[in-house]
Amino acid sequence: MSDRFHKIQIQLNIPDLNAGDFSQLTITRQINQVAAAFPDHFEPVTLIGSSLGGLISDHLGQQYQQVQRLILLAPAFGFLAHWLPKLGDEEMKRWQQEKYLMVYHYGEERSLPLSYNFVIDAKQYQEDILQRPVPTLILHGRQDEVIPITASRNFARSRPWVKLIELDSDHALGNVTTEIWQAIRLFCQLP
């Protein structure tokens, strides 16, 4: 996507939300990190976030008037409710006791330790508080095996400012980049 934006002379700021320390990752840390990158003067911001980054973007849109538009790719709505049961009770108990769980990191292509503080912190970020009417485009794959499309359907249903586009894809959305780009261009009124 960054190449496509570059071709129309739009510079993207793509922060590393791991901040060099995946093991201490929290949603609060990521929200603060992205907010710190906002322009000093009140300039409208469009946020594009994928998966957990989509959830974080929506919470930033709730908190900051500077956020004028959101583009969410397979946002991780209700991810604790989807992810934690897959771990099972024994794995959850072990994580709480040992304080760290090995979690596969797709960017690193290997498992890395993640602190249980991630879960504690994430519990305070519920979707029901996301009520600021920020124009929002959600693109979500119907075959998403990580975050079911029903999570985005339920979110969009009660928020008329949200447009949901369902795609024939999975969580990675790798096979529909052309469709995603066309939807973003229309939504943002880009050349």
Cα distances from 157 to residues 112, 114, 161, in angstroms, run: 36, 33, 10
Domain limits, the chain: 2-188
pLDDT, one tens digit per residue, over 64-117 is: 999 999 999 999 999 999 989 999 999 999 999 999 999 988 778 899 999 999
The CATH code for residues 2-188 is: 3.40.50.1820
* 147: nearest Cα among 49, 62, 61: 49
Q: How many residues does the chain have?
A: 191
pTM: 0.93
162 band by pLDDT with thresholds 50, 70 and 90? very high
17 band by pLDDT with thresholds 50, 70 and 90? confident
Half-sphere exposure of 147 (CA within 13 A, CB side): 27
Terminal Cα-to-Cα distance of the chain (whole angstroms): 15
